Each structure stands twice: as C-alpha cells, then as structure tokens.
Structure 1
C-alpha cells in the first residue's frame, strides 16, 4: 500500500532522483564488507558475501547485499536497502526510501524516517520513539513492536506478534493473513496488543486466530475475525 510522502524526506527523494548530476562512486564486491565513509555521497553499494556500513551523514542511492547485514549511521540517508541473509539497522535520525530483508530483523532507532515500505519475511521489526514509516510494514514470521512510533500505510502479518506502545499510531489498518502451506511458525496464536494511548486508523482484519488485547485508552475502528479484549494497566493478562 502506498501513502503520501513524508515531508522530511522530500529533499532525499529529489536528491536521489534529480538529474543529470555528476556520477557518484559505486562499489561492488563478491567477498568482503563495504563502508560508506562519513559525509560522502555514493551511488550503489553491492556485496555478495559481506555487510554494508553506512557511516554518519553519508548519502547512498542503493545498498544491497546477499549474505550480510546493513548498518546505517546517524543522520545518514539511503534510497533503498535490501539484504537476503542479514538484518538492517538505522541509527538516530537516519532516513531511507525503503527497506527489505528475507532472513533478518529490522530496527529503526529514535527519529528514523522511512519514506515507503519496510518488509521482512523471517525476522522481527522494531520501531523506537519518533520512528516513522510512510508505507506498509509487513512481515510473515516475525514480531513487530512500535514504541511511540507511526506507520502510515498499514501493517500486514501472518504469524508474528504485534505490540503498539506509548501512543503509537497505525494508519491504513492491520491485516493478518491465514497461513498457507508450511508458513506456520508454531502452534501458538499470534498476540496482538494495542497498548496505552495507541491508535489504529482503519479496519483490523484477522483471517486466522489471534489473541487481541486493546487498552482502555486505545482507539480502534472496525474489527473483523477477532474479539477485542479490553484491559487496563501496563500489560494485558497472560
């Protein structure tokens, strides 16, 4: 699902798409890691067996690796970051266009902004205070946790737990698909918690069994396929 572009990322989008412009350095490796040095601008960073490190205030058009993680430093900017076997982490106030990984977790630190989608298949996603995703956040087998964070394009999951805390906001609703084939991550039903002062704008649709807990101060819309259990206090019952 696509949504409006986040205002703070307009400059990033223009910088990465405008042309013509002088060619930026691109680096490609089969074995070994790649580092984008602090404050410098790069085109594409491409590695097969090695991680990618983007240091503070660096600007990278595209970062892609097969076997290795991607680390984005404070206030750095990356147009897109993707990996097959490895996690992705963005430090404080970093910016990105979109993020994706197959086998690995994604972590967005305080104030991180992602313009478009965040996607993982086997791995959790964690958003710290002030983090924002403009598009959809999706995972198949992995827990999702938001703490005073915002997702603008809805949340899509199959098997993972979901927790919204401290006034987090999800626009575009929440959907859990019915598992297909061998997608089961275990026999336990996912636990969905809409915590204190949090809000879901849009419908919550559950095509499978879940445990749904909604704090008495939380705000939600229509729920299909599950029964919301209201609770008070810091944590829902176990």
Structure 2
C-alpha cells in the first residue's frame, strides 16, 4: 500500500524533532544528572550534606552523619552510626538512624516516620510529621509540631511541647529481655503535655511513668498512669 507523500513542512518538522531528541539524549548520556536532579547519595564511610535549596533522592550512609541545609529536600534519609540534622524548611520522607539523634528545624515536612534506637528526636515549630515518631533509648521533644501518627518509646522522656498536636497518641512500651535495657540506676520516663498541646489518641503506658499535663492541654484516654495537672510554663521538677 502506497502512503501519501508528506508535505515538505511536515518532513522538516519531523527532522527537527528527531534532531532535538537526539541532542537531548546525547546530553543526558554525557551528564546523567541533567535528567535526574533528585540523585541518590549512598556511602559506607563518611558524612553527607544536602545543600541548601537542592532536591535529592535517597540519602544513605553507614558510618557518618547527615546534614540537610535550609530548604533542601530528600526522599528516605538513613544512617546507622551517626546523627541526622536538618535546618529550617526541609522536606523528607522516612528518616532513620540506629546510633544517633535526629533534629529538625522549623517548618519541616516529613511525609514518613522519624525513628532512632539510641538517640533523641526533636522537631521545631511549624513542622508536620505524617508518620510515627519512635525511639528506644532517647528523648522525644516537639514544639509547635503536628504528628499525624503516634509517639513510641521504651526508655525515653516525651515532651509534647507548647502548641503541638499528636493525633495517634503515645505509647511507652515495657522493656523485653535486653531490648531497651539501661544499665545503672533505673530511670522512670517523664511525659509532659505542654501548654495548648493536644494528644488526640490514647496514651498507653506499659511501665511506670511520671505524667504531667498542662491545664490548657487536651488529652484522650490514659492507661497505666495518673496525670498530674500543672500551670505555668514548665512542669514540676521530679
């Protein structure tokens, strides 16, 4: 079957399009990052820095810390032996470490979980965490932060600071075997729900805790502890 002859303009347009596509493919081959600005960074030894205002894929290292400068964004952020620190206006997905603290500045957007085993977690004002916040041996602190999931720990203190909201509640687990075992003097976890803070879900304590709830705060059900109400900017000292 004979195809109708194409007009010169159509043939020229097809030629120009092919030329542009070939040039784009050649440029991408010469510089792979040209078509993937959200590049992954994966290391075994060494720290990682996500530069201010830049977008990345997954960031991972084994022995080293991870720093996210102001306005940077990334997918999953993971290390084993090292802390994770983020400046203001940072966006990530899941964030985790084993031996290290996690700290986010203001206006953070975390669409996954924050998790560490041995280390604390802190999020500053205007931040939002879509998942859970969990530690084994480490304190958890929020200021003006919304958590859509739940707070979980074994041996850590928990502070739901002023103007924070935790939709999924709080759970402090009982240590099992060597999991979450602290040597030395036994420490009773301290849980504080601060001024104008809200804990919508249940608070479940499987071990002894000291629970302080500000008079302006709102909480759901509590099991395993008796709440002590307080006024003022800070809770009573133990």
TM class, shorter-length: 0.7 to 0.9
- How big is the shift at 1:43? 2.2
- How big is the shift at 1:104? 0.3
Matches within 5 A, 1:88-127: 88-127=84-123
- How big is the shift at 1:25? 5.5
Question: How many residues in Structure 1 have an aligned counterpart in Structure 2?
Answer: 204
Cross-structure match for 1:226:
225
Q: Deviations over 1:140-178 (max 9, x none)?
A: 000011111111111011100011221111111110110
Give the Cα–Cα distance (whole angstroms) in 2 for the partners of residues 44 and 181 of structure 1.
38
Give the Cα–Cα distance (whole angstroms) in 1 for the partners of residues 177 and 228 of structure 2.
30
Please tell me the root mean square deviation across aligned C-alpha atoms, in Å: 1.6
Give the Cα–Cα distance (whole angstroms) in 2 for the partners of residues 214 and 200 of structure 1.
10
Q: 3-state DSSP class of the match of 2:136?
A: strand
Cross-structure match for 1:31:
none
- How big is the shift at 1:70? 0.5
Matches within 5 A, 1:126-165: 126-165=122-161
Give the Cα–Cα distance (whole angstroms) in 1 for the partners of residues 58 and 39 of structure 2.
6
Give the Cα–Cα distance (whole angstroms) in 2 for the partners of residues 197 and 120 of structure 1.
27
- How big is the shift at 1:184? 2.6
* Mapped contact 1:206–1:226 kept (Cα < 8 A): yes
Which is helix-richer, 1 or 2? 2
Q: 3-state DSSP class of the match of 1:107?
A: strand
Give the Cα–Cα distance (whole angstroms) in 2 for the partners of residues 66 and 100 of structure 1.
11
Q: Deviations over 1:105-158 (max 9, x none)?
A: 000101011001110000000111111110001110000111111111110111
Give the Cα–Cα distance (whole angstroms) in 2 for the partners of residues 214 and 199 of structure 1.
10
Give the Cα–Cα distance (whole angstroms) in 1 for the partners of residues 94 and 228 of structure 2.
34
* Mapped contact 1:25–1:43 kept (Cα < 8 A): no
- TM-score, with normalisation over the residues of structure 2? 0.82
Q: 3-state DSSP class of the match of 2:131?
A: coil
Q: 3-state DSSP class of the match of 1:163?
A: strand
- TM-score, with normalisation over the residues of structure 1? 0.82
Cross-structure match for 1:184:
181
Bigger Rg over Cα: 2
Give the Cα–Cα distance (whole angstroms) in 1 for the partners of residues 40 and 207 of structure 2.
40
Give the Cα–Cα distance (whole angstroms) in 1 for the partners of residues 207 and 42 of structure 2.
39
Gaps of 5+ in 2: 1-27
